[in-house]
Amino acid sequence: MEGLVTQIQGLSGTASDVLSLQNLLKQADDSLHAESTRLPPFLDQLDPSKHSLGYLYFLEACTAGPVTQEQASSFVLTIARFISSCVAEQIRLAPDKFISVCKRFKDQVLLLEEPLRGVAPMLTAIRKLQLSSEHLTALHPEFLLLCLLSKCYKTALSILDEDIFEVDQPRDLFLYCYYGGMISIGQKQFRKALELLHNVVTAPMSTVNAIAVEAFKKYILVSLIHHGQFPTNLPKYASSGAQRNLKTLCQPYVELASSYSNGKIADLETYVEANKDKFESDNNLGLVKQAVSSMYKRNIQRLTQTYLTLSLQDIANRVQLNSPKEAEMHVLQMIKDGEIYATINQKDGMVRFLEDPEQYKTCEMIERIGSSIQRLMTVSKKLNVMDELMSCDPLYLAKAGRERQRFDFDDFDNVPPRYNI
Amino acid sequence: MDGEEDASNLMMEANSTGGVDEAPLSSTTTRRNRPIISGEPLDIEAYAGLYTGRTKINRLIFIASHCDNPAMELEALRMASDEIKKGENTQLYREVVQKIEGRLGPNYEMDTAWCSMIELKAEQRKEKLESELNSYRTNLIKESIRMGYNDFGDFYYAHGALGDAFKSYVRTRDYCTTSKHIIQMCLSAILVSIEMVQFSNVSSYVSKAEQTPEALDPPTTAKLCCAAGLAHLEAKKYKLAARKFLEVGLELGNSYSEVIVPQDVATYGGLCALASFDRTELKATILSLLSPAPPLFSIHNKVIDNINFRDFLELVPEVRELINDFYSSHYASCLEYLGNLKPNLILDIHLYDHVETLYDQIRNKALIQYTLPFVSVDMRMMADAFKTSVAGLEKELEALITDNQIQARIDSHNKILYARHADQRNATFQRVLQTGNEFDRDVRAMLLRANLLKHDCNLKASRKV
């Protein structure tokens, strides 16, 4: 053991040294695991900021076995300190070990029932493990889970704002999008939630998994809240398994959506009452209630298209509210949220609907449009690059060559009929 | 029989309340030019007198089953039963007698003797026809085979076996040698199809007949136009139906009275045109005919002799007035005429299930036309013009605005309708930003999915290796 420690201390200088160190450590891994109980004192001899790789191996072996309550809090401290001080390049040499250490860290934090302690370290861990900001690691969903449990949504949003293009494991993506959707719902950013949930539901999957089913349920509800409608069919690029099975697995929600589209609030409310238990068991009752109240909003918005002024009594009648006072409250809330533009005249009990005052003439608007264009050009370029890469891929060319007779001659003139690697 | 006729005359005098002269039953010539489809309750005698053959019976039965007035119902059934007895359709006779339920006295009970006699004759005739047909077939003379099948068709038609009649007529097709034969076959097939209410067949046979122009004389062309118009009407294609009816020439006269008469052509054509044509088309095809000056420009070259339609409209002056009122924006009187005509139109066998739709379309067009020239409209005045309440008008306008047929907004406080022209510039900006966002979102999702698929492929490839 001591020999190993000295070697670590010696070989953590340059990059080539570190590589040879890694080989040594790999060979010694089993012996480390065998003596896991003896390892903690050795950890003090190593410095996490200089000897990150060695420290990592030792740490991983230490935490491999079952952990008691007292040990848990000390481990949490050690790991947190390690994460904040380790060197990114060294730990990237052994990503699996790092990921398993962080996962155990999360488990222990949850064991102690203090998820908040885990949020900041996990965020640092992600930053250090990521190869680029577009890379999704296995730690992302763990991080989001901690944020959800500790209710610090804002921190999560900073991670969610980044676009993801590279994925290691599909399962990570599903969990990431699902938790991300839930966080966005919590922050009332329904557009982002819809996007994330849409990604889960339409991701390529050979068999439908439970995450997709839960995500689909929330997807229906958020779609009703945000758009006021739910497209009955998944887009064509969703996997065939999803298209066939998701709807049957989420039957009560699909019926809720069709009841919503009929436009009668009373029917919708009776349906919700009847199926309350199912919604509650899925923890979706809050969302369902939001969906129901969004229907009132949708109806009032439709009125703005046909009327210039309307009495509160008429609004209450048309939208099936109980009294003009309720109508006034709804309209007031909508004006505050910026969903409609109107003025309420309390003396006459009239509401006057106004046009959207945005004239699209300000500097901010021009900047917004400009930055939009820039962003779209970047995304387009990315798409082109990917297309080029794909066209050179040997697998693709082999398949195109084989299937040439199915397609138009012009498309594949350059591909020889039998392309062998 | 004479006493019966007097009795029926008396009954007619007691029942008819229309403004029609009490002329004797036989002279139908003077009746032809009297307005039959008018605002007054339908005079069944006069109405039925226009038609011949099976459509007369069908229309009478239809009126009997759809009208509210029991006296009218009995009158119709009585006339139907008289007419049936002149023919050979025992099935229909039984149905009508059942409907009468003995309310018309002993003369209208089931005459089983007559029935069995007819059926016996029918059996004999059928055997005779069959043996004749077989002999013709062995002789392989095309013309006789064709006539044999034709006779069969007529026989089945007279006895109410419409499906068999249709099949027989269609069989003659293989033996037609001249285009006249083809025309004859097509017309017979059309007649039977209309009766069977299978209008898809009607359309196909009309087009078949139109493909042999050499043998088409004006009355036949007119008949084909009518049949095509009816087919379109049934298919709810009101614009096409209107155009077809407008093409019908005066030569139609009464030659097609076993299907349709000129009054019907005028009514169907006028109402469909009003419901579906826009103002320029309406003016060019119908209204220009009402003034002595020739049309300045005719949009459709198909409408060759549209002077004729004026004469058709003369037969139904209420429809003529109603179209005029619509064009000159006297909506109240237009809608009044429509309301008056409705009870009689519901009794028409071809029009009854289209009356509601046509009326709604006409009313909506009137509302839209009223609001078109104004920037703001006082809803109280508009409600007066359309003879409804302000609340009802508000509901109708709301439906039209939501449907995007009127570009306006309602000021419910002051009851004024303001025209609203969408700001194109703002709408464009909004759409642009939205499209950009959607593009961004979709491309990113695509790249993500592509990445996942690539991952899958790599896994599979590495597993193979």
**Does residue A381 sit at the B interface (CB-CB below 8 Å)?**
no
CA distances from B384 to A62, B330, B366, B381, B387 (A): 91, 12, 14, 5, 5
Q: Is A7 exposed, middle or buried (0-12, 13-18, 19+ CB in 10 A)?
A: middle
Query: What does the alpha-carbon distance between residue B71 and residue B11 come to, in Å, rounded to a whole number?
Result: 10
CB contact under 8 A, B441 and A195: yes
Q: Token digits for A208?
A: 């439908």
Chain B residues inside the 8 Å CB shell of A303? none
The torsion angle over the Cα atoms of residues B354, B356, B362 and B364, rounded to 10 degrees, is -130
B166: amino acid identity, one letter: F
Rounded CA gap, A263 and A266, in Å? 9
pLDDT digits (tens, 9 = 90+) for A316-361: 888 888 888 888 888 888 888 888 889 998 888 888 888 888 888 8
Backbone angles phi, psi at B429, to 5 degrees: -60, -45
Q: What is the DSSP string of B30-89?
A: TGGGS--SSSSPP-HHHHHHT--HHHHHHHHHHHHHH-S-HHHHHHHHHHHHHHHHHS--
Q: Which candidate, B277, B211, B209, places its Cα nearest to that of B241? A: B277
For B419, list phi and psi in degrees, rounded to 5. Answer: -70, 145
Alpha-carbon distance of B48 to B55, in angstroms, equals 9
A308:B411 CB<8 A: yes
Which candidate, B263, B241, B260, places its Cα nearest to that of B311? B263
Q: Cβ of A317 under 8 Å from any chain B Cβ? A: no
The answer to whether the Cβ–Cβ distance between B450 and A386 falls below 8 Å is yes
How sure is the predictor about A380, in pLDDT bands with cuts at 50, 70 and 90?
A: very high
Is residue A374 within 8 angstroms of chain B, CB to CB?
no
Instruction: Write the residue in B439, B444, B450 that is nearest to A163 by C-beta.
Output: B444
Phi, psi of A235 (to 5 degrees): -65, 165
Residue B170 and residue B205 in contact, taking contact as beta carbons nearer than 8 Å: no
Q: Do A308 and B448 touch (CB under 8 A)?
A: no
- What does the CA dihedral A322, A323, A329, A331 come to, rounded to 10 degrees? 90
Distance CA B13, CA B462 (A): 99
Of A365, A373, A395, the CB nearest to B457: A395
Structure-token match 């053959």, residue found: B53
Cβ neighbours of A308 in B, within 8 Å: 409-412, 418
A183-237 pLDDT, tens per residue? 998 888 888 899 999 988 888 887 888 888 888 989 988 988 888 888 877 888 8
Q: Which residue has the higher pLDDT, A400 or B106?
A: A400
Write down the ipTM of this complex: 0.82
Whether residue A203 and residue B414 make contact (CB cut-off 8 A), yes or no, is no
* CA distance to partner chain A, nearest, from residue B239 (Å): 30
Can you say whether residue A151 is alpha, beta or left, with left for phi > 0 and alpha for psi between -120 and 50 degrees? left
Poorest-pLDDT segment among A125-129, A286-290, B310-314: B310-314
CA nearest neighbour of B245 among B280, B272, B208, B219: B272
For residue A236, report the phi and psi dihedrals to the nearest 5 degrees. Answer: -65, -25
**DSSP letter assigned to residue B350:** T
The predicted pLDDT at position B253 comes to: 73
* Coil, strand or helix at B378: strand
Report the gap between the CA of A359 and the closest CA in chain B (Å).
7
Q: Which amino acid belongs to residue A397?
A: L
Please name the residue that has the structure tokens 């007949």.
B209
Buried b (16+ CB within 10 A) or exposed e, B429-444: beeeeeebeeebbeeb
For residues A103 and A352, give the distance between their C-alpha atoms in angstroms, rounded to a whole number.
Answer: 57
| Angle in degrees, 0-180, between the axes of helices B307-315 and B317-327, rounded to the nearest 10 | 120
Contact B450 A173 (CB under 8 A): no
Task: Locate A182 and state its tokens.
Answer: 């839930």
| Lookup: tokens for B336 | 């009044």
Cβ A204–B413 below 8 Å, yes or no? no
**Over chain B (465 residues), what is each successive 10-residue block's mean pLDDT?**
41 40 38 50 78 82 81 82 81 81 72 84 88 87 86 85 86 82 85 85 85 76 86 88 82 76 85 86 70 44 50 83 85 87 84 88 90 90 88 90 87 88 84 91 88 76 64
Q: What are phi and psi of B21, to 5 degrees?
A: -65, 145
Tokens of A235: 């887009």
Query: Which residues in chain A are contacts of B402 at CB distance < 8 A?
Result: 302, 305-306
Give the pLDDT score at B34: 43
Cβ-based contacts under 8 A for chains A and B: 100
Residue of B394, B404, B409 for testing the chain A interface, max A β-carbons within 10 Å? B409
Residues of A in contact with B409 (CB under 8 A): 305-308, 353
pLDDT value of residue B295? 45
Beta carbons within 10 angstroms of residue A389's beta carbon: 11
Interchain pair A382, B409: CB under 8 A:
no
8 A C-beta contact, residue A218 and residue A203? no
What's the gap between Cα B150 and its chain centre?
A: 28
The yes-or-no verdict on residue A251 having pLDDT over 90 is no
Nearest residue on chain B to A376, alpha-carbon basis: B440
Q: Which of A207, A308, A381 is most worth mutating to test chain B (most B CB atoms within 10 A of its CB)? A: A308
Instruction: Provide, as residue numbers in chain A, all residues whose Cβ is less than 8 Å from the Cβ of B449.
Output: 199, 202-204, 237
Is B455 in contact with A167 (Cβ distance < 8 A)?
yes
**Least confident residue range of A44-53, A403-412, B219-228:** A403-412
Average model confidence (pLDDT) across chain A: 83
φ/ψ (deg, to 5) at A136: -95, 125
Residue A384 has a pLDDT of 92
Q: Which residues of B touch A (CB under 8 A)?
A: 398, 401-402, 409-414, 418, 423, 425-426, 429, 432-433, 436-437, 439-441, 443-453, 455-457, 461
The answer for A 152-181 residues in CB contact with B (under 8 A) is: 163-168, 170, 173
> Structure pTM?
0.68
Residue corresponding to tokens 């608007």: A365
Q: Which of residues 332-351 of A touch B (CB under 8 A)?
A: 348, 350
| Contact state of B401 with A368 under an 8 Å Cβ cutoff | no
- Cα–Cα distance between A121 and A109 in angstroms, integer? 11
Residue of B nearest to A366 (CA): B429
Interchain proximity A202–B445, CB inside 8 Å: yes
To the nearest whole angstrom, how far is the Cα of A163 from the nearest Cα of chain B? 8
Side-chain-facing half-sphere of A90: CA atoms under 13 Å: 27
Tell me what pLDDT residue B21 has. Answer: 39
CA–CA gap between residue A111 and residue A115 (Å, rounded): 9
